[in-house]
Amino acid sequence: MSPPAPVLLALLAALAAAPAGAATLELQVRPTVAGEALQPASLRYQTTAGETFAITRVSWLACDFALQRADGTWLELGDTAAWFDAERGRDCVRLPVATTGEFRSLRFLAGLTPAVNHAGPDKFPAGHPLNPNLNGLHWSWQGGYIFLALEGLWRNAAGQLDGWAYHLARDTNAASVTLALPLVLTNETQVALDFDLGVVLRAPRPLSFAKDGSSTHSRDGDSVAAALVRNLAGAFSVRRVTPLTEGEIAAARPAPLYLPAKFTPYEFQIAANVPIPELPRDNPLTQERVALGRELFFDRAVSINDSQSCASCHAPEKAFSDSRQRSWGAEGGSGSRHSMRLLNLAWKREFFWDGRAPSLRAQVVQPIQNPIEMHQSLPALVEKLAGDPAYAPRFTAAFGSPEITAEKVALALENYLLTLTSFDSKFDRAMRGEGVLSAEEQRGFELFSTEYDPRRGQFGADCFHCHGGALFQSQGFANNGLDAESMDTGRADTTGRAADRGKFAVPSLRNVAVCGPYMHDGRLPTLEAVVEHYVSGVKRSETLDPNLAKHPDGGVPLSAADQRALVAFLRALTDPKVEQAGVK
Amino acid sequence: MNWMQHRAGSVGLALALTLIVSAAARGADDPRITSWYTLDSSRLARLYRTPAKQAANQPETTWSNGRNTQAFPVRCGVQQISSSSNWVYVSSTGLPGQIMGPWEGGRFPNLPVDQHFIFAIPLHPVKQSGDAWNRLFEIGMFVDGVRMFDACDAFSYSHARGQDANPRAGIGQGDGIWRRDALVNEGQTFDAALAHQQNWGTYHYHVQPIALRYRLGDHVDFDPATQTYHESAGQPRHHSPILGWLQDGYPIYGPYGYANPTNPASGLRRMDSGFVPRDGRRVPDNLAATGRRQLPAWEAREEHRSAVLTDAETGPEVSDAYPVGHYLEDYAYLGDFGKTQGRDFDLDELNGRWCVTPEFPAGTYAYFTAIDARGNPVYPYNMGRRYYGKPVGCLMRGIFEPVTTNFVAAAEADTAATPKDAPRGSKLIWRDGGYQTR
């Protein structure tokens, strides 16, 4: 039954009127120091105490945006949360404003409200600013987000490069910021703010890395955290207000490539507490495609002389790594880096130790062609696969036609690799209440997830900064102090930035006990040696990670018993299914 | 010695309530060894942080509010029982089998955490002679391994300030004379079990442990719809079970005992405490008329002082803010007003009596938890202001003499009880042109 005409007309009028009364406020925030745009990783700034320092990371969350009307009342702008990250170029949030009009101030919370902070890391869809896999700011096992991660390097009294890491977190440390913002909002308007990091470290409460400490994790009564909260309130200023003429162009959603009319969706299961990953929209996970990818992964035809499959250097029972320090190629050659483990890749953005591949489909074709690995040209591979009658029906099932191309090989392998997940271990069972860790393992976990901050009575091992979260990994690249002068320039190969020299992908510590030897070049044979490295072997350099640089020379001091406890804890991260090579 | 290490080192699977009894152990059938409730000992302690979690039936096995953190799942209550010729040692996490919380609608600032203590109680309790003054506060342990606190909430009236000291007032603990009744002043922070925890996370009862009574089958019903406990309707058909042990080694029972203390065939009745409010109804003493200028006689006896207070010791006038019952001193003992224990009421001023019980057919001194006819806890709740026996029991961190192991919680956690509590992950499935989360 259709509504009577007058009602319909009124409805249409209301619909037409709605957009006219609404507007969008685009808030752009630029990190600055003393009014100038931040120069990242540059030792050019000075604290009030005269300490020279650089800023390498500025990553923060905001929510509770509101505009104050001319009459003094506040218009809340909904539950939009924002994540800003200098390194990732995240500098902007778009806020829908229900009504146009005249406003006089802007208010927001630098940090999160308790309800949002504790909503649970697995509640936010891929791409949401609060998805922990996107922002890397969630302290999974402690609960809650880091509101502001500010890190860098500084030169200490001895002239040495030291690290500093200020992590502001916990409900009580969310800082309310109010800015005068005379604004007549009619349509789309961009407000550009400056976020002065010099003020955050200086006014009204000056911080000195030497005097106040070079790290905070916002425990109770932490004076650095208190100073940061105080300083944050005055660190923002309005630089510019610009009316925008055009709305944002909606990002085109890529269409699925070669999706057959009939397919069986693959159920991608993730554990509780694990953030929702961003799976490729143009390569949907289907059972047929995953099966084909698995077939290809274990097929020796992929190498030039049929001697090797992907699994030759990525053995399932080794968490898809290789127990050799440097794997052998199809023709007996070997490279300079250790075979990477391949679990939980769905939560990674960049692949290889130096992150040179932006997707798995781009990654998989490189070892196939690399002369010291499988040394097979893609046309030769396609020809070889086409000669195997078993493949045509599999490609048809996966891609809708029997035609084999290198792109489809890559898509199928990408599908398969994305499904290699591991969330189970003795540790997870204990966290779920289905088992109990030994006292030594518990001690190891305590060390793992506690900072080293003698000034505040904390004597942990600081592991969680890089290997945090439910997946015990981060998406970043870090220099963990293996060499004072790295022979392998690592991440800098890809980015061309001196600040990335000696940095390598941070690997997941899930199943770490079965995937040795360790480090990008496999130089450390055992977990004991790895822990020893962080205790006594860390070498200082300009790109050493701030969370390690803040430790005493050599590394974080741990007793022999604590070192054993850390190793015991790492061993509790092994997935029985991986150990039994059940993942195939 | 860490009891967890000890437990991990023990061999063999002990079933709940099945005791590994060594023939050499003396008194292995003593209720001090056998009365402990261990059906939940292999299960994991759980709690609801908020009413919403409770409504959704989503308990958690680990929790933190930044102040109290239970980073690892921990098991419920009694984990090990050992005994020597003179002592029983009960290792407990201090957390009960029922799902705890929420407290005060989720706003209560404390969360319970594993206390992993050892409670030592004398196997051969001795009556204390004279009228010794006893230090109270933590007075015993219930048989599910949960701590028993006395009737006070640790705060009292400050005459100089003209107000109660309390956790938020910042004026100390008070004068120590008009002491606040924990149920009256903190009852709103109790969970459905009638328990809460202090600031370092010791979960405890001040009053009758109604959830434990339900688990022990002591005439209590549980309403799953409202998640609340109520005294059952009708007459009890069994003598109440042992609910716990006080530090003097004597038991505390649920509210129902034999009508005649020495005759098990005399029928059952709810034990009437000897305490009544000083409101002029059952005793002539009426604080509303006289003001709080005199201590009750029982209190003067305990404190070895005159009942008459100096001006600086008087309490606030009776009012809506300070009703009769606000303080422990607001109660009178009927024995001080010509009434007779055994005829007019059942329990002495320590809240117990000498009697026979199912576990002690030859008789014992026993305390009884006090409730009124509607099942509500009433003063003095579990114990008066003094122990019957010498309170030599205490909490320990280790055992320093050879012992026989009487019970060890099963080595494997009862996983069957936990899967529905474990948070489930989600699935991403490509459907209708996009990934759907399920």
pLDDT (tens digit per residue) in A450-467: 889 888 788 899 998 899
- DSSP state, residue B68: S
Closest Cα partner for A475 from A135, A101, A118?
A135
Contact A125 B5 (CB under 8 A): no
Give the gap in angstroms from C-alpha A527 to the nearest C-alpha of chain B: 24
Question: What is the band of B132 on the pLDDT scale with cuts at 50, 70, 90?
Answer: confident
Is the pLDDT at B22 greater than 60? The verdict is no
Which chain B residues are closer than 8 Å to A126 by Cβ?
A: 435
Q: How much of chain B exceeds pLDDT 90, in percent?
A: 64
Question: Is residue B200 within 8 angstroms of chain A, CB to CB?
Answer: no
Interface test with A, best of B7, B426, B432 (most A CBs within 10 A): B426
Please write the tens of the pLDDT for every residue from A405-436. 999 999 999 999 999 999 999 998 888 777 88
Closest residue of chain A to B66, computed from CA coordinates:
A170
- DSSP state, residue A536: I
Closest residue of chain B to A269, computed from CA coordinates:
B427
Q: How much of chain A exceeds pLDDT 70, in percent?
A: 94
Measured distance CA(A35)–CA(A195) in Å, rounded: 9
Question: What is the band of A315 on the pLDDT scale with cuts at 50, 70, 90?
Answer: very high
Q: Helix or strand or coil: residue A211?
A: helix
Please write the tens of the pLDDT for every residue from A83-120. 999 988 899 999 988 888 889 999 999 999 888 888 87
Q: Helix or strand or coil: residue A418?
A: helix
Please write the tens of the pLDDT for every residue from A200-216. 999 889 999 999 988 88
Residue located via tokens 């019970």: B407
Contact B427 A220 (CB under 8 A): no
Residue located via tokens 């890391």: A121
Contact B72 A431 (CB under 8 A): yes
Top pLDDT among A433 and A519 is at A519
Which chain A residues are closer than 8 Å to B1 by Cβ?
A: none
Tell me the average pLDDT across A385-391.
Answer: 94
Closest residue of chain A to B67, computed from CA coordinates:
A220
Rounding to the nearest 10 degrees, give the CA dihedral for residues A534, A540, A546, A552.
Answer: 60
Contact A433 B425 (CB under 8 A): no
- What are A503's strand-pairing partners? A490
Closest Cα partner for A513 from A242, A321, A331?
A321
The answer to whether A501 touches A507, Cβ cutoff 8 Å, is: no
Cis peptide before B102 (omega within 30 of 0): yes
Amino acid A85: pLDDT: 95
Of A148-157, B249-258, B359-368, B423-432, which gets the smallest average pLDDT? B423-432
Question: Is residue B428 within 8 angstroms of chain A, CB to CB?
Answer: yes
Is the pLDDT at B15 greater than 50? The verdict is no
User: Residue A431 contacts by C-beta under 8 Å, 6 or more apart in sequence?
Assistant: A141, B62, B72, B73
Rounding to the nearest 10 degrees, give the CA dihedral for residues B95, B100, B104, B108.
Answer: 40
Give the gap in angstroms from C-alpha A267 to the nearest C-alpha of chain B: 5
Question: What is the band of A3 on the pLDDT scale with cuts at 50, 70, 90?
Answer: very low
Question: Is residue B107 within 8 angstroms of chain A, CB to CB?
Answer: no
Q: Helix or strand or coil: residue B214?
A: helix
Top pLDDT among B214 and A8 is at B214
Amino acid B325: pLDDT: 96
Question: Is residue A115 within 8 angstroms of chain B, CB to CB?
Answer: no
Give the gap in angstroms from C-alpha B325 to the nearest C-alpha of chain A: 38
Question: What is the band of A21 on the pLDDT scale with cuts at 50, 70, 90?
Answer: low
Within the 415-444 window of chain A, which residues sit less than 8 Å (CB to CB) from chain B? 423, 430-439, 442
Q: Which of B44, B425, B428 sits opposite A279 (nearest CB)?
A: B428
Between strands A188-196 and A23-33, the pairing is: parallel
Please give the full DSSP string across A143-195, using - where no structure is assigned: -SBEEEEEEEEEE-TTS-EEEEEEEEESGGG-EEEEEEEEEEESSEEEEEEEE
Alpha carbon distances (Å) from A467 to A169, A226, A478, A507, A532? 18, 27, 11, 8, 17
Give the gap in angstroms from C-alpha A275 to the nearest C-alpha of chain B: 10
Domain map (residue ranges) of chain B = 10-273+346-437
Contact B61 A171 (CB under 8 A): no
Is the pLDDT at A16 greater than 70? The verdict is no
Rounding to the nearest 10 degrees, give the CA dihedral for residues A285, A288, A292, A293.
Answer: 10
Neighbours of B3 (CB within 10 A): 21
Closest Cα partner for A420 from A556, A315, A566?
A315
Which chain B residues are closer than 8 Å to A436 by Cβ?
A: 72-73, 75, 413
Give the gap in angstroms from C-alpha A562 to the nearest C-alpha of chain B: 17
Which chain B residues are closer than 8 Å to A284 by Cβ?
A: 430, 435
Q: Which of B46, B75, B425 sits opposite A270 (nearest CB)?
A: B425
Question: Is residue A220 within 8 angstroms of chain B, CB to CB?
Answer: yes
Interface test with B, best of A131, A436, A450 (most B CBs within 10 A): A436
Which chain B residues are closer than 8 Å to A265 by Cβ?
A: 429-431
Question: Is residue B432 within 8 angstroms of chain A, CB to CB?
Answer: no
Please write the tens of the pLDDT for every residue from B156-202. 999 999 999 987 888 888 898 999 999 999 999 999 999 999 988 99
Which chain B residues are closer than 8 Å to A430 by Cβ?
A: 72-73
Is the pLDDT at B26 greater than 90? The verdict is no
ipTM strictly over 0.85?
no
The amino acid at B347: L
Sign of CA dihedral A461, A465, A469, A472: negative
Is the pLDDT at A404 greater than 80? The verdict is yes
Amino acid A399: pLDDT: 97
Amino acid B316: pLDDT: 96
Tell me the average pLDDT across A508-529.
Answer: 95
Contact B430 A271 (CB under 8 A): no
Please give the full DSSP string across A355-394, using - where no structure is assigned: --BSSHHHHHHHHHH-TTTT---HHHHHHHHHT-TTHHHH
Which chain B residues are closer than 8 Å to A122 by Cβ?
A: 425-426
Tell me the average pLDDT across B77-96.
Answer: 94
Mean pLDDT of chain B: 87
Tell me the average pLDDT across A273-286.
Answer: 90
Mean pLDDT of chain A: 89
Measured distance CA(A367)–CA(A340) in Å, rounded: 12
Q: Which of B67, B429, B434 sits opposite A268 (nearest CB)?
A: B429
Closest residue of chain A to B62, computed from CA coordinates:
A431
Give the gap in angstroms from C-alpha A282 to the nearest C-alpha of chain B: 10
User: Residue A454 contacts by C-beta under 8 Å, 6 or more apart in sequence?
Assistant: none
Neighbours of B132 (CB within 10 A): 11
Q: Which of B418, B428, B429 sits opposite A434 (nearest CB)?
A: B418
Amino acid B1: pLDDT: 30
Q: Which residues of A196-222 are buried (b: 16+ CB within 10 A; e: fewer)?
A: bbbbbbbbebebbbeebbbbbbbeeeb
Question: What is the band of B360 on the pLDDT scale with cuts at 50, 70, 90?
Answer: very high
Q: Which two three-digit tokens encode residue B411?
A: 């080595």
Measured distance CA(B195)–CA(B209) in Å, rounded: 7
Is the pLDDT at A159 greater than 50? The verdict is yes
Is the pLDDT at B27 greater than 90? The verdict is no
Q: pTM score > 0.90 for this model?
A: no
Top pLDDT among B327 and A475 is at B327
Q: Which residues of B99-123 are buried (b: 16+ CB within 10 A; e: fewer)?
A: bbbbbeeeebebbbbbbbbbbbbbb
Please write the tens of the pLDDT for every residue from A522-545. 999 999 999 999 999 999 998 999
Contact A439 B2 (CB under 8 A): yes
Beta-carbon contacts below 8 Å between A and B: 94
Contact A434 B430 (CB under 8 A): no
Cis peptide before B358 (omega within 30 of 0): no
The amino acid at A315: A
Measured distance CA(A316)–CA(A324) in Å, rounded: 14
Closest Cα partner for A491 from A481, A503, A499, A506?
A503
Amino acid B123: pLDDT: 95
Which chain A residues are closer than 8 Å to B424 by Cβ?
A: 272
Cis peptide before B380 (omega within 30 of 0): yes
Tell me the average pLDDT across B291-299.
Answer: 95
Is the pLDDT at A4 greater than 60? The verdict is no
- DSSP state, residue B316: P
Closest residue of chain B to A442, computed from CA coordinates:
B72
Within the 170-189 window of chain A, which residues sit less than 8 Å (CB to CB) from chain B? 170-171
Contact A432 B2 (CB under 8 A): no
Which chain A residues are closer than 8 Å to B415 by Cβ?
A: 434-435
Question: What is the band of B428 on the pLDDT scale with cuts at 50, 70, 90?
Answer: confident
Contact A270 B61 (CB under 8 A): no
Amino acid A252: pLDDT: 54
N-to-C CA span, chain B: 48
Please write the tens of the pLDDT for every residue from B116-125. 889 999 999 9
Amino acid B403: pLDDT: 87
Contact A171 B418 (CB under 8 A): no
Contact B66 A436 (CB under 8 A): no
Q: Which of A171, A272, A279 sits opposite B435 (nearest CB)?
A: A279
Q: Which of B46, B73, B429 sits opposite A265 (nearest CB)?
A: B429
